[in-house]
Every structure is written in structure tokens, then in C-alpha cells.
């Protein structure tokens, strides 16, 4: 999450977080967060905080009002759980939400992560990683999906010893 916070535009921010969990990313943004809208498929009910809300459901079916007004959209460890056939629609919906110059920040695992997690899961050292939902994901597929929706790639960098990737796109 720290890598994603560092990629946000400067100033007060309106942020959509897809896969928001319990709003941890909004908390990391701190006082810079003007308004946040989180979508979380595992949430059982809507929750509201001082400057953000978390809504149960799936993006792009569930999304905030205000197309073209958001400063950033984030998907942190989410895209690999979205089937390839649905990714172009997801990319288009992200593009619609962002203002001109707004940023889309995505983190995805590298190809070796699934192998490592499979071994850890086999030995019951981890649980609940939803590996079956990775749909043969490859980080190489990220750039064409989002540039095809009208985004411009600003940054693509590996982190955590090459096990994860951050992509920053601009509308």
C-alpha cells in the first residue's frame, strides 16, 4: 500500500478504491483524503467513516457518482482476480471515473508468486489466498488492457524482490 500512496497525485484527493477491504488504504492517505469510495465484494454491509464509505459489491456494477471527477482509482492486488474477458470493461469504467490527468494505480503479483503461495498453502502455512481466482494472470497483460482503454502508462516497477508490480496510468 505504501508504494501506491507514493504514486498518488499531490494535494487533496478524491479516491475510488476497488477491493477496499476495510478502508486501510484510505487511512494511509490520511488528511490528504477529501473523499473516498471503496468497493468491497466481501463486505456484508455499507460502512461510512468521516471522509469515505465502503460499499459491498463488484466494480464496475457498483461505482460512485461523479464520472470524470475522481483524482485516483486504485486496485491493489485485485486485477489478478478478474477474468481476462472482464478486464476491458473494468478498464473503461476506471477511465470514465477519472478526471483528465487522474491516475489509476494497480498492484499485481509477479508470475512466481502463485508457485510460492501454492507451496505455502499445501503446507497449510497460509489460508484464504483465492489462488483459484488468478485465471492464469500475467503482469504482461496489464499494460495493453489499460492503454487500450485510453490510459497512458506513467510507471511500471517491480517491488518486494520482484514478486509484485506497480503500474501507474494517467487519463
Domains of the chain plus CATH, in order, are: 2-170 (3.40.50.150)
Distances (CA, A) of 37 to 29, 33, 153: 13, 11, 24
Mean pLDDT (the chain, rounded): 88
Which one-letter DSSP state was computed for residue 41? T
Q: What is the mean pLDDT of residues 30-54?
A: 96
Strand 52-56 and strand 33-40: the pairing is: parallel
Q: What is the mean pLDDT of residues 74-96?
A: 95
pLDDT tens for each residue of 114-135: 554 554 566 666 565 454 454 5
The Cα 8–Cα 27 span in angstroms is: 14
Which one-letter DSSP state was computed for residue 160? T
Distances (CA, A) of 117 to 79, 121, 129, 159: 17, 6, 8, 17
Across 27-41, 51-65, 83-97, 108-122, least confident range:
108-122
Q: What is the mean pLDDT of residues 61-84?
A: 95
pLDDT given for residue 134 in this prediction: 47
Residue 25's pLDDT band (boundaries 50, 70, 90)?
very high
Q: Is the pLDDT reported for residue 1 higher than 90?
A: no
Those residues with Cβ within 8 angstroms of residue 141's Cβ, 6 or more apart along the chain or in another chain = 84, 87
pLDDT given for residue 164 in this prediction: 87
pLDDT given for residue 136 in this prediction: 60
Amino acid at each position: 500500500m505504501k508504494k501506491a500512496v507514493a504514486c498518488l497525485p499531490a494535494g487533496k484527493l478524491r479516491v475510488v478504491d476497488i477491493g477496499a477491504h476495510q478502508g486501510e488504504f484510505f487511512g494511509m492517505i490520511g488528511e490528504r483524503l477529501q473523499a473516498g469510495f471503496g468497493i468491497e465484494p466481501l463486505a456484508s454491509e455499507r460502512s461510512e467513516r468521516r471522509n469515505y464509505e465502503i460499499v459491498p459489491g463488484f466494480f464496475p456494477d457498483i461505482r460512485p457518482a461523479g464520472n470524470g471527477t475522481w483524482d485516483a482509482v486504485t486496485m491493489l492486488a485485485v486485477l489478478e482476480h478478474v477474468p481476462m474477458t472482464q478486464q476491458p470493461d473494468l478498464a473503461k469504467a476506471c477511465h470514465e471515473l477519472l478526471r483528465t490527468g487522474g491516475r489509476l494505480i494497480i498492484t499485481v503479483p509477479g508470475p512466481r508468486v502463485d508457485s510460492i503461495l501454492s507451496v505455502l498453502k499445501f503446507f497449510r502455512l497460509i489460508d484464504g489466498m483465492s489462488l483459484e481466482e488468478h485465471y492464469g494472470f500475467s503482469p504482461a497483460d496489464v499494460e495493453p488492457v489499460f492503454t487500450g482503454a485510453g490510459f497512458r502508462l506513467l510507471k511500471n516497477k517491480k517491488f518486494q524482490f520482484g514478486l509484485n508490480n506497480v503500474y501507474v496510468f494517467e487519463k
